[in-house]
Amino acid sequence: MKMKQNRLFAFLFAALITLAGCDATRNANNKQKGTVIGASGGAVIGGVVGNNVGEGNTALGAIIGGVVGGAAGAYIGNRMDEQAQEIEQEIPGAEVERVGEGINVTFDETSGVYFASEEYAIEGESREALLKLANIFEEYPDTNILVEGHTDSSGSDAYNYTLSKNRAQAVTDFLTSHGISSGRIDTKWYGETQPKYDNSTVEGRSKNRRVELAIVASEELVEEAKQKAGN
């Protein structure tokens, strides 16, 4: 599994470099990118992107739309780097993306957490992966989690909507039953409406049957970051 910077965020960053005309940002790492975005009006840009990455508050939209930016964003980015690395190490099947000041984690039928066809029970390797994830979330209590359920286009819209709800809720229930406060978790589901891959192929449908997580800074972490940054 490879942790990667989301391509959309990279595109945004490149656009900001052009707008800002700042050569010093061209070799910036994740934390430095957060600083640059804050200095360049990232809250506005983040909101625009958040409203255009999909219908509703998608995982990616939740992360980018909540950008703090500046030195505080760099502080948050440092915390997220550490957490993302732990998720990669502990759950090698997951797809982990560091995006701005947050983390996007995707579990599909071949990575980390998966469900039997038309089922939503968490069993076997999926249970082990979520136990590890719960332990990591306990190590980082100053982050919040958005859990999203998605399906492929097989079956009716109504059926897929309910299935995505059941799978997302199953993940949330598992995490809360293993010590993660329900106040940290928001749960959403979208059925087949937000495919990331081509539903006309077997591989694409498999990848679209997924649960995604957005991990973002809590209000407490944002305030801590602003204090550290002297804001």
**pLDDT tens column, 137-182:** 999 999 999 999 999 999 999 999 999 999 999 999 999 999 999 9
- 49-55 average pLDDT score: 41
Name the residue range of residue 171's domain: 4-229
Where residue 33 sits, what CATH number does that domain have?
Answer: 3.30.1330.60
- Greater confidence (52 vs 60) lies with 60
The residue assigned the tokens 């995982």 is 59
Q: What is the pLDDT of residue 46?
A: 37
Question: Is residue 40 pLDDT above 60, yes or no?
Answer: no
Q: What is the pLDDT of residue 213?
A: 96
User: Listing from the earlier edge strand, what are the strands of the sheet with 102-107?
Assistant: 4-5, 95-99, 102-107, 210-217, 143-150, 185-189
Listed range (14-18, 51-55, 65-69, 194-198) with the worst mean pLDDT: 14-18
- 70-88 average pLDDT score: 95
Enter the tokens of residue 49: 């992107």
Enter the tokens of residue 115: 């469900």
Listed range (31-35, 83-87, 103-107, 218-222) with the worst mean pLDDT: 31-35
- 98-103 average pLDDT score: 93
Which of 16, 13, 100 has its CA nearest to residue 60?
100
- Greater confidence (18 vs 96) lies with 96
How far apart are the C-alpha atoms of 206 and 159, rounded to whole Å? 17
Report strand pairing: 95-99 vs 4-5. Answer: parallel
Number of structural domains the chain divides into: 1
Render the burial of 160-191: b for 16+ CB within 10 Å, e for the rest: bbbbbbebbebbbebbbeeebeeebbbbbbbb
Question: Is residue 30 pLDDT above 60, yes or no?
Answer: no
For residue 176, the number of C-alpha atoms closer than 13 Å in the C-beta half-sphere is 17
How far apart are the C-alpha atoms of 199 and 35, rounded to whole Å? 38
For residue 109, what is the enclosing H or E element? none
pTM (2 decimals)? Answer: 0.77
Enter the tokens of residue 136: 């990591």
The residue assigned the tokens 């910036």 is 28
